[in-house]
Amino acid sequence: MYSTRIYYQDTDAGGVVYFANYLRLFEKSWFEYLISLGTSLPEWEKMGIYVLIRTAFVDLREKLHYGDIVNITTSIKEVKNAYFVLTHAVSKNGQATTKGEIKMVCVDKNGKPKRLPEDFRNRLLAALDSPRTSPGIK
């Protein structure tokens, strides 16, 4: 689980989180989640392996406001040869506020689809439907 506070920069003129900023929250959570699995995307990029978001889905159920502290839980939903799907659940005070899903694809430096590295794919499969803890505000 990744925890953070909602900052002024995350909100719109109405003082609630701007819809696109949920994707930023998801990104921070999935980045920490992949680190918890032993994966360093910056190291992969040095080897010409990239992970890109193919599709993103956000289901806004309850508004979040400036100053709220939220938890984002990320888990693996699906693992294939060249892509994987992550789910995200945002909660405030133990109550679900937002759900999301992101499909991430593996590509080479030219943007061509590439198989997930076998060790990484195996770690994803082992973590399937198993949320992990990642750092953030306590």
Active-site hit among 10, 12, 68, 129: 12
Label each residue of the chain as H, E or C.
CEEEECCHHHECCCCEECCCHHHHHHHHHHHHHHHHCCCCHHHHHHCCEEEEEEEEEEEECCCCECCCEEEEEEEEEEECCCEEEEEEEEEECCEEEEEEEEEEEEEECCCCECCCCHHHHHHHHHHECCCCCCCCCC
Confirm whether 129 is a catalytic residue.
Answer: no
Active site residues: 12
